[in-house]
Structure 1
Amino acid sequence: MSLSLNQWTTRRWSVAEAVDGCVRHGLEAVGLWREKVAEQGLARSAALVREAGLRVSSLCRGGFLTAGGLPGEEGRLAFGRALDDNRRAVDEAAELGAACLVMVVGGLPGVRPGEPLPSRLSGDVAGAPERVAGFSKDVAGASEVAGFSKDVAGARERVAEALSVLAPYAGERGVRLALEPLHPVYCPDRAVLSTLGQALDLCLPYPEEQVGVVVDTFHVWWDPRLSEDVARAAGRIASYQVCDYLHPLPADVLLGRGMMGDGVIDFAPITRAVLAAGYTGDIEVEIFNADVWAADPDEVLATMKARYAELVV
């Protein structure tokens, strides 16, 4: 295993700057983000990584597959758009030679990441629920209200349905999909998969080289079944990502990731379990944190290397 910089940790850096930073700091791999790759250009990004002699440890991200859980034509069109975008993501991962395409599967249908819920009392909904096109007339007891669905089981079914289409497509292109369970606090808007066990169960119908899982310490450290599920994931771990879980979380919980050692996670036993499960890939540091993003990226990498050596391995 070796240390990899996930590009979002030094968010201000372009692909070219992240590649150059990895070379300066002696890293062998970089995890890229689709937005940054699009800004740099796909072909140019692939060339920069190749010329630097780096590996692409992951491409973030595919997923957001659950909008198909909306009713009627809206859901059908949303599901088609999600599949099309994920096919493009697979093609990008193939061009970059990424070890995996990270899949953040999506939250409840109609709930947008980081935004308030659509109001059930907005517009014609108040006093006339039967006018909400495609939704249950019994708003008070419905699982679909005012433009979003509360059907979490149905959302997970949409993920499984999408995998039945995307896994073979990825396999034909030599790309491994990596399902990432997220901490339960993100279940409404980002990922209806909250445990490693849930993600692993969705993988099992497919070959290991087509679909695997991400073990991200921030998201899974709390799980009482983590050791058992990491062992059960032998051969399926496509990515191991590390950062710390801050306490208390900030107002924007998306930015609650910290540098290793600044939070509550004990990394050593998780790393031992991942190693025992046969993982030999890169270990990515992926941090969403306003203070880290504001710091000098070279100082961030220096701290990251020191904390990785001291706490992770």
Structure 2
Amino acid sequence: MNNFCIITNIDKDNEYKTTKLIQEYLVSKGKRCQIAAECSTVGTNEDETDVSWIADDTDCVIVLGGDGTIIRAATDLCTKEIPLLGINLGTLGFLAEIERQDIIPALDSLLEEDIQIQKRMMLQGKITRDDQTLYEDYALNDIVIGRSGFSRIISISVYVNNILVDTYHGDGIIIATPTGSTGYNLSAGGPVVSPSSNVIMITPICPHTMSQRSILVSSDDEIKVVVDKSKKTQKEEAIATFDGRMGMELKTGDKIFIQKADKVTKLIKINQKSFYEILRSKLR
């Protein structure tokens, strides 16, 4: 690997001390290394990273922050499919497996290419209204359809391959990848699955019943979520988010089509800890 770039969460490294340390170390080894803040144009949407400047011959993107920073970078860079190395400056850090004190040994392993590259499944979602597409995007963790504003309960019908699975009354629904199983899905009582699993999770959020639980479907299945009417006085029934971003208000009859994406996120793994060791360590 010769060409690198760094994307930094400035809230985690606001003076770029760790970022500059990494850049200087890589340059001292004869490598090219650019920092996103120095090269990109700041846009009006702070939730998006301007990746237009990142060259296609970039061998690795080093992401400094927490899992949220990596998830954002993965979505923004999904069309480039450049491997990502996460360095944890946050809290849990399931995706950002390298801790601050292990940066230099990790960089040495990276330069020696003593690494593994894991391919993580992504979701592709499309929101339609009256058969017109309103929005399309990718998600590494999850696509969530939740209640909007102060609405109390929303009604959502979920179909798998055009067959009705159930109609959920509650705070919403989470459609999660195996990578996203340790995120909102876990907090909502959904199962934790290995990142290499070929499944998609459907997890209700605070369902207004005792019997509804998470459902695992094949990654080859297509999921359709339909927003049903729940309150006569309510125009916007729900809101859709992709990896916690892009909140789009939904109305009765809106449909969200979700399936396995044709893109993957490539994560660089350096340490030898298994997913289950990390799980045990992070969640105690």
Higher normalized helix content (fraction of residues): 1
Higher normalized strand content (fraction of residues): 2
